[in-house]
Amino acid sequence: MEQLEQVATQMGETVAVLSNGIIPISTLYIGINVLLNLILAILVVRARVKTGVEIGDGGKNELIQAQRVQGNNVEYVPFGLLVLIAVEMAAAPVWMVHTLGAGLSVSRAAHAFGLSQSTGRSAGRFLGTLGTWLVLLVGGIACIYYGLR
C-alpha cells in the first residue's frame, strides 16, 4: 500500500510539473482534442437515446456510424498527442509543434465531419485521413530524429 501511495505521489508531482508550462503547446492541443472527443461521445449518446439502444449497436446504422466516428478518433488521437508531447519535450521548434498539433486537430475534425455525414467516400474523410497520417509520419520521424540526437 505504501508503494502505491508513493507512485500516486510521484504521478501527481509529474502532472504538476508538466502542467506548469513545460508543454504548453501540447497542452493546448490536448484540450482541443479532448473537447472534440467529448462532442463525438455526446453524439454517440444522442444516437443511443434516439435508437433506444443502451449497449452495443443494436444493428442500427445511425448508432454504428456515430460509434465509428468516435472510435476512429480514439484510435488515432492518442498517438498524435504522444508525438506532440515528445517533440515538444525534445525542444523541437515551436512552429513544428504547432504545425503537428493544428494538423492533427484540423484533420481529426475534418474526418469526424466527413464520416458523420456519410459512411461512403467524402472529402472530409479523405483529407482527415491524409492529414492525420501525415502528422503521424512527420511526427514519428521527428521523434526518431530527436531520440537519436
Query: pLDDT tens, 25-48?
Result: 999 999 999 999 999 999 999 999
CB 40 within 8 Å of CB 70: yes
**Residue boundaries of the structural domains of the chain:** 2-148
Closest to 110 measured CA to CA, from 122, 128, 123, 130: 128
CATH number of the domain located at residue range(s) 2-148 in this protein:
1.20.120.550
Question: What is residue 30's predicted lDDT score, i.e. its pLDDT?
Answer: 97
Q: Which three cell numbers stand for residue 36?
A: 472534440
Q: Which of the 8 DSSP states describes residue 121? A: -
Cα separation of 126 and 124, whole Å? 5
Give phi and psi for 5, each to the nearest 5.
-65, -35
Query: pLDDT tens, 91-117?
Result: 999 999 999 999 999 999 999 999 999
